[in-house]
Amino acid sequence: MKDRLRTQNFLVIALLFGFFIQFPLLSLFNHSTLVGGIPMLYAYLFGCWLTLIVVLALLVRRRKVKEDNR
């Protein structure tokens, strides 16, 4: 049961971040504006990527802590 819930969590996260990099949202950030010297589109994409890595790391760490406590 827990494996199924974990799989569902990862699937929801993948779909959510897949939604964030679809064309309509990317077009909102496709401007010549610079954010910290980086084009806004690149900053958005790297921000999404970094957020995905952090969220997945937190999920994996939480799972590992729960397994170690058994």
pLDDT reading at 14 higher than 90: yes
Q: What is the pTM of this model?
A: 0.80
Q: Give the span between the Cα atoms of 26 and 47, in whole angstroms.
A: 12
Q: What pLDDT score was predicted for residue 61?
A: 84
The overall average pLDDT reported for the chain is: 88
Q: pLDDT digits over 30-48, tens only?
A: 999 999 999 999 999 999 9
Q: Is the pLDDT of residue 22 over 80?
A: yes
The confidence band for 53, taking pLDDT boundaries of 50, 70 and 90, is very high
- Which residue type occupies 51? T
